[in-house]
Amino acid sequence: MGITRRVFIASGAAMAAVAFDQSRKPRVGFAQSNRVVNLYSARHYDTDTAIYDGFTKKTGIKVNLVEADADKLIERIKSEGSNSPADVLITVDAGRLWRAQEAGLLQPISSKILKSAIPANLAEPQGYWYGFTKRARVIVYNKDRVKPADLSTYEDLANPKWKGRLISRTSSHVYNQSLTGSILAVHGSQKTEEWARGLVANFARPPEGNDTAQIKAVASGVADVTFVNQYYVVRLMKSEKPEDKEVASKIGVFFPNQKDRGTHINISGGGVVKTSPNREAAIQFLEYLASPKAQEIFARSNNEYPALAKVALDPVLASLGTFKEDKLNAAVYGKNNAEALKIMDRAGWK
């Protein structure tokens, strides 16, 4: 195995101190050799290890893996400054990649392999980052209380017919901020705020919990509908726990906006850190993530859709059906993030 794994959990002043200390270690030896990639990843899936092993086997380049939540990794790179050993940052949601870009932590790269493999709407236009998997924000409904014919669009969830029947996680989470950012791109500020106020008026309870909690609440009858990333549903479908299987049996999945722009798509992606000591190796690593073999593993590790269209889907994920995707460039969600959050705050979306 060509992987060294570190799990990073420090925060605040301690985080800065640890980061500063660790940043020197790789630079003394292998970090500038282009025979190593120092990967900072917010993906915590053991199956990704197979990708790193495959990359090392193909190129001879070792992968040093540091794992933490996205915000902690971004703050770590900031605190390390020019001494950072980080070559590649991988995280989930275009909003977080945009934050790293806006903080000046990423550099644009030009790669014919990436440009030809990754659809343009999944990549930052100037090459600061690329999406390697897709996640759809779907509507989940209680099959005993809602028929698919009752559902249509994200916008329709603000209709008073859903009053007391809708739940959501909080507005502080980037998934909902990105969805709102996509609505903002289509409808503008005023109509987006009207939509957000409509959602809030329809909430059956104050926002709480993660996407899995929303699904379980809908299955138990707390509410009739919610919106989540599809892989949370697939995890429950695959679970060996009887209680999870029961939840999965009670809910249905609906892909919204099929008659207009398509279902909101976000990404799991990565870019090369601005101060990367191993830039060429870092680019090779991202190019490897765009290969069919890596794509299949990378996507299946979290029940996501691969960025490459011809890569086989996980069978359980495929059972959800095909759908039309919103082709809005993922970078727009990041650009709209700040305004989207202000709109959500004004609307009372806690």
CB of 167 closer than 8 Å to CB of 217: yes
What pLDDT score was predicted for residue 47? 79
CB of 337 closer than 8 Å to CB of 268: no
Report the C-alpha gap between 37 and 33 in whole angstroms: 9
pTM of structure: 0.89
The identity of residue 60, as a single letter, is G
pLDDT, the chain, mean: 91
The residue-averaged pLDDT of 147-157 equals 98
What pLDDT score was predicted for residue 25? 39
Distances (CA, A) of 313 to 205, 226, 302: 35, 24, 11
User: Residue 250 is encoded by which pair of tokens?
Assistant: 């009670």
The residue-averaged pLDDT of 136-140 equals 98
What pLDDT score was predicted for residue 208? 96
Residue 45 burial (CB count, 10 A): 16
What pLDDT score was predicted for residue 221? 97
Residues 6 or more apart whose Cβ sits within 8 Å of residue 173 = none
Residues 6 or more apart whose Cβ sits within 8 Å of residue 218 = 140, 141, 142, 167, 224, 225, 226, 251
Three-state DSSP at 133 gives: strand
Name which residue leads in pLDDT, 16 or 249.
Answer: 249
What pLDDT score was predicted for residue 341? 96
Which range (223-227, 308-312, 323-327) has the least confidence?
308-312
**Residue 264 clears pLDDT 90, i.e. is over it:** yes
Name which residue leads in pLDDT, 19 or 207.
Answer: 207
Angle at 182 between CA 234 and CA 185, to 5 degrees: 165
What pLDDT score was predicted for residue 14? 37
What pLDDT score was predicted for residue 346? 97
**Residue 151 clears pLDDT 90, i.e. is over it:** yes
Residue with tokens 């900031």: 78
Q: How many alpha carbons fall within 13 Å on the CB side of residue 12?
A: 1
CATH number 3.90.1150.10 given to 135-263+324-346:
no
The residue-averaged pLDDT of 305-328 equals 95
Report the C-alpha gap between 240 and 248 in whole angstroms: 11
Instruction: Assign 43 a pLDDT band (cuts: 50, 70, 90).
Output: confident
What pLDDT score was predicted for residue 8? 45
Locate CATH 3.40.190.10 in the chain: 3-134+266-312, 135-263+324-346
| CATH tag, 3-134+266-312 | 3.40.190.10
Name which residue leads in pLDDT, 40 or 17.
Answer: 40
What pLDDT score was predicted for residue 2? 57
